């Protein structure tokens, strides 16, 4: 490891995974690092994600993993190559958090919580001399290029050698990602694409009876097929306004883009994906004809009341009683979606700083010495470990980029600089 004798000061704006990963790199390189976080504590969105088990990453092969980043794959490739899923596991275990891989290939800490990992991470950073400043908000730069920060003691201006922006996207503002930085960067000549929801729920037109009775009810063991024909098995949740849940999130980009093009998107729900239409037809036909529809579906397929009600919704009236026609409906219940859910309720967002506004070091072309990482950048990925991996990989890449830029820009000015 090479250290700066003159020890440059780098401000990292944002105390989430991307910002903390960046601070880890820079402090290891010998920089003085101040992490500025507007919330009362660091990593609040990470802690929220950890309530469901903290999915760190995924074990699928590198090509498939990289494909999860869609159109941003070429730009994300360098970050993912420098910090791989295997590196993520080693990093977590280096913080005293052993990991395991679930049957789906997802990787979790054995503690199944984010708090022990975050505590160990913050302790390691503090031990390296990183200043962790909460309740401090970035307010841009003054006319002399000094960083403007407002903390509990009032406004202050700092002279720093580099700045890394890692303030998140624009979902879950109450956890700190409010997207307020967008207008400020646009005003400084940085190209920022509009935010749109990602990994989000959608609005549909449930009947009042269905909404009233089943809002909040999960649809378990289903397969959801999106408008582009991709099918995902998992779970969806009926909401008062539409649908959300893991299977919906996995297809949300395709659904969202179809709605943007046509104003709606039709998806299909297979209520019994383990059975083909012929099997379902046979099972239905075995039930006595005089049984009610509900009894027929319960006896033949063990469908829950919410699934039977969904069949009625999809049929737009009484479902067909012919076994073959009913079987086809069970295997592909149509649901029309009309709009994404609210941006602030999305798990993540698409949009952000355009890749064309960044160089290969993740430095803003319009603002030399200013770097960006995490969900501030214009990329999206599904849940399943890809979001955290992307945030930390770009955070570390921005940290390395800032260190390289500092090294190159100071060489010749300081005899001891590497």
Q: Label residue 281 exposed, middle or buried (CB < 10 Å: 0-12, 13-18, 19+).
A: buried
Q: How many percent of the chain have pLDDT more than 90?
A: 92
Kindly indicate the confidence band of residue 317, based on its pLDDT and cuts at 50, 70 and 90: confident
pLDDT one-digit tens code per residue, 74-103: 999 999 999 999 999 999 999 999 999 999
> For 277-302, what is each residue's pLDDT tens digit?
999 999 999 999 889 999 999 999 99
Q: What b/e sequence results for 357-380 when a residue is b if at least 16 CB atoms lie within 10 Å of its CB, and e otherwise?
A: bbeebbbbeebebbbbbbbbbbbb
pLDDT value, residue 271: 98
Q: What angle do CA 93, 132, 146 make, to 5 degrees?
A: 130
- Is 58 a residue whose pLDDT tops 80? yes
Residue 373: the pLDDT is 98
Distance of alpha carbon 153 from alpha carbon 252, whole angstroms: 43
Q: How confident is the model at residue 313 (pLDDT cuts 50, 70, 90)?
A: very high
At residue 309, the pLDDT reads 96
Q: Is the pLDDT of residue 199 over 80?
A: yes
CATH number of 9-197+349-410: 3.50.50.60
Q: 27-42: per-residue pLDDT in tens?
A: 999 999 999 999 999 9
Average pLDDT over residues 2-22: 86
* Rounded-to-integer distance, Cα 277 and Cα 270, Å: 10
Residues 6+ apart with CB under 8 A from 252: 197, 198, 199, 200, 202, 340, 382
* Residue pair 197/349 in contact by the 8 Å Cβ criterion: yes
* pLDDT of residue 17 exceeding 50: yes
Share of the chain above pLDDT 70, in %: 97
| Rounded CA separation 370/356 (Å) | 15
289: number of CA atoms within 13 Å, CB side? 3
For residue 343, pLDDT over 90 is answered with yes
Q: Tell which phi-psi region holds residue 137, choosing left (phi > 0), alpha (psi between -120 and 50) or beta.
A: beta
Least confident window among 46-50, 127-131, 155-159, 189-193: 46-50
Sorted by where each begins, the domain ranges of the chain are: 9-197+349-410, 202-340
Question: What is the pTM for the complete model shown?
Answer: 0.91
- Beta strand ranges found along 249-377 (DSSP E): 265-270, 333-340, 348-353, 370-372
Cα 154 to Cα 382: distance, rounded to the nearest angstrom: 40
pLDDT tens string 234-278: 999 999 999 999 999 999 999 999 999 999 999 999 999 999 999
Span 140-160, mean pLDDT? 96
């Amino acid at each position: 490891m090479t250290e700066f004798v003159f020890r440059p000061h780098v401000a990292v704006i944002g105390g989430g995974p991307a910002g903390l990963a960046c601070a880890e790199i820079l402090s290891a390189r010998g920089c003085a690092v101040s992490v500025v976080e507007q919330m009362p504590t660091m990593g609040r969105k990470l802690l929220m994600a950890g309530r469901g088990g903290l999915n760190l990453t995924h074990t699928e092969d590198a090509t498939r993993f990289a494909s999860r980043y869609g159109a941003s794959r070429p730009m994300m490739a360098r970050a993912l190559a420098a910090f791989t899923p295997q590196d993520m596991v080693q990093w977590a275990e280096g913080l005293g958090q052993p990991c395991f891989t679930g049957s789906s290939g997802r990787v979790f800490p054995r503690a199944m919580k984010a708090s022990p990992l975050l505590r160990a991470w913050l302790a390691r950073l503090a031990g390296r001399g990183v200043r962790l400043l909460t309740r401090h908000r970035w307010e841009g730069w003054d006319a002399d290029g000094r960083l403007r920060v407002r903390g509990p003691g009032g406004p202050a201006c700092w002279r720093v050698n580099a700045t890394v922006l890692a303030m998140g996207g624009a979902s879950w503002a109450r956890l700190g990602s409010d997207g307020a930085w967008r207008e400020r960067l646009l005003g400084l000549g940085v190209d920022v694409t509009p935010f749109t929801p990602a990994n989000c729920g959608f609005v549909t037109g449930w009947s009042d009876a269905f909404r009233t009775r089943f809002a909040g009810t999960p649809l378990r063991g289903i397969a959801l097929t999106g408008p582009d024909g991709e099918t995902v098995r998992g779970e969806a949740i009926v909401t008062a306004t539409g649908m959300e849940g893991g299977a919906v999130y996995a297809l949300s980009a395709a659904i969202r883009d179809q709605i943007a093009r046509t104003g709606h998107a039709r998806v299909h729900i297979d209520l019994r994906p383990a059975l083909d239409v012929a099997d379902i037809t046979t099972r239905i036909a075995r039930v006595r004809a005089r049984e009610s529809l509900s009894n027929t579906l319960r006896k033949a397929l063990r469908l829950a009341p919410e699934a039977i009600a969904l069949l009625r919704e999809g049929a737009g009236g009484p479902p067909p009683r012919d076994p073959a026609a009913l079987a086809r409906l069970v295997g592909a219940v149509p649901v029309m979606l009309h709009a994404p859910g609210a941006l602030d309720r999305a798990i993540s967002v698409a949009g952000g700083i355009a890749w064309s506004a960044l160089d290969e070091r993740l430095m803003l072309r319009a603002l030399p010495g200013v770097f960006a990482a995490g969900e501030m950048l214009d990329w999206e990925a599904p849940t399943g470990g890809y979001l955290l991996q992307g945030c930390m990989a770009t955070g570390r890449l921005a940290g390395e980029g800032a260190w390289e830029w500092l090294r190159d820009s100071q060489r010749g000015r300081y005899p001891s600089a590497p």
